[in-house]
C-alpha cells in the first residue's frame, strides 16, 4: 500500500456522457448516468458518498443535486447546488474538495449537467429592441436595449473583442491564427467518440465558414448541446483504506483554484477574460509546485477560437505575447510541445455549460491513467484543466498521475 498525505485530494472515479442532443432525457437523467458511471469507476456506491454537489446553468432553478438524488439514491447526505456560469462544474468539484479539506467528509460526489437543445449559440434571442415608453432604468439610466446600438455584449462578440484586443497588442496574431486553433481542435475531435462533432476541416473551410462575429466563423464557435459529467473525490486518508486497484488508478488534485475579476480598466466595458485567468494560473502553479513546462496536456476553455489563443498566453503556455507564433509552429497540437484540447475542446466536443468543468477533468484524468485509447497522450503525468465563465469566474485544476 502506497503512502500519501492524508490531507491530499484524489479523483478515484470520473465519467461523462457523450455530448450532443438528448430529446428523450432531461438534464438530471444525464447527471444521474454520469454519477452512476463515476461511482462505478471508483468502485463505490451512493451509500458511501458523504456529500453531493451538483450544478447546471439552465436547470439551476430546478435544483439538480436533489433531482439527481431521486434518480440514484436518497441517502439524506448534504446536497448542494452551485451556479457559477461556465465554471459551474469545476465549482462543484471545488466545493467537494473544500468539504473534504474542512473535515466534514472524506468522500464526495460532484456532478455537472445541462440541457440546452437548439437554443442557439447566442442564447439571447429575447434581447431584441424594445419600443416606447422610453424611461431611464437602472444605475446606467438605460432607456432601451443597447445590443447592436452601443456595440455588442453577447458572448460571440465579447470573446471576439477579447481576441482582437490581444491581436492589437501583439504581433503575428490575426484571423488566420485564430482559425488555426479551430482547425486543430476539430482535427483532435476525430479521435474522441464522446465528442458532439467528430469531423476534421481544412483551414480554408474554417476561414470560409459563415462569419458569426469577426474573426470567429461558425466553425470557430462552440455548439450548444446536452450532457453531463461527474467525479468522485476522496481524501488521501480515505484513499489509503481503498482497494489497490482504486489507489493505482487514483489521480491527485494538486491544485484547485477559483478566481473572479479583479478591477481592471478593460473590465469597465466588457468582461476581462484574461486577468482572472492569469491570476488563477499563477496560484495553481504555486499550489501544485509545477511550471507550465511540466504540463503534458491542457484542456482549456475554447468557447470561441479567439479565447483559446489568448489563454495560451494567460496560462503561460507560450512566451509572453507569443500566442500567434505558438499556434503557427503547431505547439498546441497533440504531437506538439504542449497538447491543448486533445478532446476536441468545446469547439468540437461541445459545451453543455454545467458539465464542461468536470468533462475536462475527465479528459485529463483519463490520459493520466493511460486509458484514453486512440487519443492517449503517451506517458502523461501532469495535466491542467481551465474553465472560464463570463461575469467572471475562472477555475483551474492541476492533476497528477498516481506515483505508484
Partner 1 sequence: MIADLPIVNYLVIDGDEPYLQATVCDACEAAYLGSRIACARCGKRTFHHRRLPSKGTVGSFTIIHRAAPSIPTPFVSVLVDLEGGTAVKANLVGCPPDPEHVSLGMAVELTTFEAAADESGTRVVAFGFVPSDRGVTE
Q: C-beta of 199: minimal distance to partner 1 in Å? A: 21
Three-state SS for 372?
A: coil
β-pairing verdict for 251-260 and 393-401:
antiparallel
Q: C-beta of 224: minimal distance to partner 1 in Å? A: 14
106, 9 Cβ separation under 8 angstroms: no
By C-beta, is 65 or 307 nearer to partner 1?
A: 307
By C-beta, is 102 or 268 nearer to partner 1?
A: 268
By C-beta, is 148 or 373 nearer to partner 1?
A: 148
Q: C-beta of 249: minimal distance to partner 1 in Å? A: 44
Nearest to 90 by CA among 308, 400, 399: 399
84, 139 Cβ separation under 8 angstroms: no
Nearest to 365 by CA among 12, 27, 9: 12
Q: C-beta of 390: minimal distance to partner 1 in Å? A: 15
Q: C-beta of 385: minimal distance to partner 1 in Å? A: 27
The footprint of partner 1 (CB under 8 A) covers 121-122, 124-129, 131-134, 136, 139-144, 146-154, 156-157, 160-162, 164-165, 167-168, 175, 210-216, 263, 265-266, 268-270
Question: To which H or E segment does residue 16 belong?
Answer: strand 9-16
Q: Which three cell numbers stand for residue 389?
A: 465563465
182, 305 Cβ separation under 8 angstroms: yes
Q: What is the DSSP letter of 18?
A: P
By C-beta, is 41 or 272 nearer to partner 1?
A: 272
By C-beta, is 58 or 217 nearer to partner 1?
A: 217
Q: Which three cell numbers stand for residue 156?
A: 460571440
42, 27 Cβ separation under 8 angstroms: no
By C-beta, is 281 or 310 nearer to partner 1?
A: 310
By C-beta, is 114 or 272 nearer to partner 1?
A: 272
What is the sign of the dihedral through the CA atoms of 182, 184, 186 and 188? Answer: negative
Q: C-beta of 191: minimal distance to partner 1 in Å? A: 30
188, 201 Cβ separation under 8 angstroms: no
For residue 145, CA distances in Å to 112, 126, 127, 136, 259 come to 32, 11, 7, 11, 30
Q: C-beta of 244: minimal distance to partner 1 in Å? A: 52
Q: Which residues, 6+ apart, have CB-to-CB distance to 390 below 8 Å? A: 85, 86, 155, 158, 271, 273
By C-beta, is 48 or 266 nearer to partner 1?
A: 266
196, 225 Cβ separation under 8 angstroms: yes
Q: C-beta of 272: minimal distance to partner 1 in Å? A: 10
Q: What is the DSSP letter of 294?
A: G
Amino acid at each position: 500500500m502506497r503512502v500519501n498525505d492524508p490531507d491530499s485530494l484524489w479523483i478515484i472515479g470520473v465519467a461523462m456522457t457523450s455530448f450532443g442532443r438528448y430529446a428523450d432525457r432531461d438534464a438530471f437523467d444525464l447527471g444521474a448516468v454520469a454519477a452512476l458511471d463515476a461511482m462505478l469507476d471508483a468502485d463505490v456506491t451512493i451509500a458511501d458518498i458523504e456529500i453531493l454537489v451538483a450544478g447546471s446553468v439552465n436547470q439551476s432553478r430546478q435544483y439538480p443535486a436533489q433531482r439527481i438524488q431521486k434518480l440514484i439514491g436518497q441517502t439524506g447526505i448534504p446536497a448542494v447546488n452551485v451556479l457559477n456560469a461556465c465554471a459551474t462544474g469545476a465549482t462543484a468539484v471545488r466545493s467537494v474538495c473544500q468539504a473534504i479539506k474542512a473535515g466534514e467528509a472524506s468522500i464526495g460526489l460532484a456532478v455537472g449537467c445541462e440541457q440546452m437543445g437548439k437554443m442557439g449559440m447566442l442564447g439571447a434571442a429575447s434581447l431584441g429592441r424594445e419600443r416606447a415608453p422610453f424611461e431611464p432604468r437602472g444605475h446606467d439610466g438605460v432607456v432601451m436595449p443597447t445590443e447592436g446600438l452601443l456595440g455588442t455584449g453577447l458572448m460571440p462578440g465579447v470573446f471576439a473583442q477579447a481576441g482582437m484586443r490581444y491581436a492589437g497588442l501583439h504581433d503575428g496574431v490575426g484571423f488566420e491564427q485564430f482559425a488555426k486553433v479551430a482547425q486543430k481542435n476539430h482535427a483532435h475531435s476525430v479521435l474522441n467518440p464522446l465528442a458532439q462533432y467528430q469531423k476534421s476541416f481544412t483551414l480554408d473551410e474554417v476561414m470560409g465558414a459563415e462569419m458569426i462575429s469577426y474573426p470567429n466563423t461558425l466553425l470557430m464557435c462552440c455548439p450548444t448541446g446536452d450532457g453531463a459529467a461527474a467525479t468522485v473525490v476522496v481524501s488521501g486518508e480515505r484513499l489509503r483504506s481503498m482497494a489497490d486497484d482504486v489507489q493505482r488508478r487514483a489521480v491527485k488534485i494538486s491544485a484547485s483554484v477559483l478566481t473572479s475579476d479583479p478591477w481592471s480598466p478593460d473590465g469597465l466595458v466588457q468582461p476581462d477574460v484574461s486577468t482572472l485567468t492569469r491570476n488563477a494560473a499563477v496560484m495553481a502553479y504555486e499550489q501544485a509546485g509545477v511550471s507550465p513546462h511540466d504540463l503534458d496536456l491542457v484542456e482549456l476553455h475554447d468557447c470561441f477560437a479567439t479565447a483559446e489563443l489568448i489563454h495560451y498566453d494567460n496560462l503561460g503556455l507560450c512566451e509572453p505575447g507569443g500566442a500567434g507564433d505558438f499556434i503557427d509552429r503547431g505547439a498546441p497540437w497533440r504531437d506538439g510541445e504542449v497538447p491543448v484540447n486533445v478532446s476536441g475542446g468545446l469547439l468540437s466536443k461541445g459545451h453543455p455549460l454545467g458539465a464542461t468543468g468536470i468533462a475536462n477533468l475527465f479528459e485529463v484524468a483519463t490520459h493520466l491513467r493511460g486509458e484514453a485509447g486512440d487519443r492517449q497522450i503517451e506517458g502523461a503525468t501532469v495535466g491542467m484543466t481551465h474553465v472560464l465563465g463570463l461575469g467572471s469566474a475562472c477555475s483551474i485544476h492541476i492533476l497528477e498521475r498516481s506515483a505508484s
